[in-house]
Amino acid sequence: MRLRNVKNAKEQIESSSYILLEPKEFRGNFRKLFDNDNPIYIEIGMGKGQFIINNALKYPNINFIGIEKYDSVIVRAIQKIGNMDIPNLKLIRMDALEINDVFDKEIDRIYLNFSDPWPKDRHEHRRLSSIKFLEKYDLIFKDIKNIVMKTDNRKLFEFSIRSFNNYGYKIEDISLDLYNDDHELNIPTEYEDRFVSRGQVIYMIDVTK
């Protein structure tokens, strides 16, 4: 998701205390950055930040890091934070392909929310739940590997189930219709709110390895 013509986006990003401009400097030392030993959860493709911000507010004893590729999108999260004080939240502008350059055996959970489905078969390796990315995630998890994914795209969901299963992940929880199942603790993304308002089904899967 890329937005256009966000005025002073670069300046807003560089002046925000929530943005890590040189995240590779903290590789293997993110607990020192947060100054605690709390779990670290990351969201890859955080969009405008609604999900990661609300999680950080709701769970102050967990450290959250939101990752987004585009300046014009991540700046919306900065604007959303405004003057709030959220010490357990950091944001990184980066491509997910670089994730092993930034993290090293220190992540406890990965969120994949409404990722690009890359519908053409020849592009399946670009999907964030593909084997290519699962291999990358192996190197950043601290101990137990835990991925929680939500999507409105059934084909991506089916692909992801097969991918997780083939890679040795165990399904802990799954929903074929999140808003008609009993998931009271669910925190929605901006996309999710939009899709639900249109009556679209939301799929969810929680896997561990």
List C-alpha distances in Å: 165 to 43, 140, 145, 169, 208.
21, 20, 13, 5, 10
Catalytic annotation on 116?
yes
Q: Which of 95, 101, 108, 116 is catalytic?
A: 116
Separation CA 177–CA 187 (nearest Å) = 15
Say if CB 74 and CB 13 are below 8 A apart.
Answer: yes
> Among 68, 97, 75, which residue's Cα sits nearest to residue 10?
75
Max alpha carbon distance in the chain (Å)? 45
What is the spatial order of strands in the sheet that 89-93 belongs to? 89-93, 63-68, 40-44, 109-113, 146-151, 203-208, 170-175
Separation CA 72–CA 76 (nearest Å) = 7
> Among 63, 53, 52, 70, which residue's Cα sits nearest to residue 4?
70
68 alpha carbon, distance to own chain's centre? 8
Active site residues: 116
